[in-house]
Amino acid sequence: MTKRRLTAQWALWVMVFGAASCTVAQSKSETDWPAYGNDAGGMRYSLLRQIDASNVAKLRVAWTFHTRDVSDGSNGWKRSGLETTPILVDGTLYLTTAFNRVIALDPSTGAQRWAFDPHIDRSLGYGDGLINRGVASWLDASRTAKQPCRRRIYEATLDARLIALDAAGGKACADFGRVGQVLLRDVPGYESRNLGEHPQGWYHMTSPPAVIDDLVIVGSAIDDNNRADMPSGVVRAFDARTGALRWSWDPIPRNPQPAVKSASGTPSPTAASWNTGAANAWSVMVVDPARDLVFIPTGSASPDYYGGLRPGDDKWANSVVALHAKTGTLAWGFQLVHHDLWDYDSSAPPLLATIRRNGKEIPVVVQGNKTGFLYVLNRDTGVPVFPVEERRVPESDVPGEVASATQPFPSAPPPLAVQHLSADEAWGPTEKDRDFCRAALGKLRGQGNDPAIFTPPSVQGTLAMPGHLGGMTWSGYAFDPANKLLVVNVNNLPARVRLIPRDKVKDDTEDGELGRQAGTPYGMLRRFLQSPSDLPCNPPPWGTLVAVDLEQGTIRWQVPLGSMQNFGGAHGPIPDGSISMGGPIVTASGLVFIAGTTDPHLRAFAIESGKELWKAELPASGNATPMTYEMNRKQYVVIAAGGHQVIPEEAQGDAIVAFALP
């Protein structure tokens, strides 16, 4: 290796992982995958190069592990999915199952080393189904290798517990909380409700905790659209050793004044009185230890589609927020959607990177949204790197609703998802399908030249484009620091949203997802716009893989991702491009790995061009983000393949599949 090449490799290693020393041999941080997004800032970037464009087509299954944890929804339980992304630390692979079991595997063979079962109540109505996306790890440097719980594995469970396990043997760490666990349901707005009114499953956890210094930080998943006054979306930090609460932060602190009621008894909101909850951080959080910052992506306030009882912008819902990790106090916040009425959560995890603009290195946090907008913000201040303009958007025609007059539109990058759809653009594989979609779109507010992205819900019915599964989802993105490219999978999926007056909710029989929004004047019904063929009513591609030049704020390339050829049954030839739930990773060899599509495949793309180089069929769709590591000088790429918990067209599975070169 030449001195020049060694110097370049060292510089890249420092930039990515903040190394303090360098050796020619690979370090553990290069070969491991120690956190959900690999590094603490969630770049999902690996320095491994063994698998590259010249040999990726030779990848074969190295081993498969079956969790045996599957529910098809027929026994009173929710349907399960498998969304875990394993981590690799200290020579062991750690992952979670649909039933919240934590399993440790041999990374070379896939053989089980231990398993821990928290025995969750699988019968509760968890809104996200039976899923979990992974674990976090912490090393207690004050303990020796022979002492228990030196390395700890943390899981946040569906039934709202934070559990600490000894990484070596899978036993609960007795000194953490009460016999290894902390109960998380003691949040404002929850403890006052009996189970008949507020089922336990409405407040749960799906994403791994974040770890910074000696703190474990958790958010929550709170069901959408059940009622106005859902539990608080409080974010909390616990002592990594003892489980003691260190701080808590509420994105929308509760107003102590009760709502004023009109003569008819209907709540009448004022600027000083409102009822709400949620705005919870249900996605993955990331941290910057050097700056003592934790970055929180927040969702919508409750309920999603009627905001008459929560006037104003609802800060800090639908935002990305930087908190001082030691205290939980606000450093800065940036709101992506004001007074959300569309379920436009900040569901994608924040991503920390460094880019060069105007001759200066700028530390940034990248935050995408279901709208399809991507925001690039200065990591220290929250100020947009590319200008953001507040533009006027349509008003609401619903009595009692006051929609935000403006919304923030970034000048760059351009929208990554399609944000409009007209009846003239209706698509379908047959003329019958196209006629159906054309008629359905013609009845909706927000179609045509109107900006469907921010047209408020209506009693008539409103087009949401992208819908609540559109744009950038929890799948997130990966960043290549060498090429300054952000790679992200994006959904183009329209939905119809209709508000139902309270006195008509009980009698409404339309097929779709009903949200009662109790405590408000309106229930809600939403459904994706699909033709009789089950395929979406908008022109394909319904899913794309996009590479964004973060320094220029431009799209470098954009290609259809996967296929929906067999979705909903047999069709004639269908153009490529599938909706996807599961994100990408990037390697230093110039490869992007991603699954997530409704067709069950793991794929590899060239980072420079977006060309598909390889794909392998999986036992079920891989609705998770892959990871990669090196063990005994062999590089592995691992993906969870279990199908999706709410897409009945996808076959279910329980497989963790590892690929490697022969």
Annotated catalytic residues are 343
639 token code pair: 């993906």
Q: Tell me phi and psi for residue 228, to 5 degrees.
A: -70, -45
Q: How does strand 45-46 pair with strand 585-587?
A: parallel
Handedness of CA 323, 327, 328, 333 (dihedral sign): negative
Strand partners, 320: 297, 334
Q: Which residue in the block uniquely carries the two structure tokens 């009945």?
A: 648
d(CA 17, CA 12): 9
Q: Distance of alpha carbon 18 from its chain centroid, rounded?
A: 26
Give the tokens for residue 402.
């006051």
Pairing of strands 319-324, 330-335: antiparallel
Q: Residue 659: CB partners within 8 Å, gap ≥ 6?
A: 59, 60, 61, 62, 602, 616, 636, 637, 638, 639
User: Residue 309 carries which side chain, given as an amino acid letter?
Assistant: L
Give the 3-state secondary structure of residue 486.
strand
3-state secondary structure of 485: strand
Angstrom distance (rounded) from CA 465 to CA 104: 42
SS3 category, 139: strand
For residue 475, count CB atoms less than 10 angstroms from its CB and return exposed for 0-12, middle for 13-18, buried for 19 or more.
buried
Of 568, 560, 457, 572, whose CA–CA distance to 517 is shortest?
A: 457
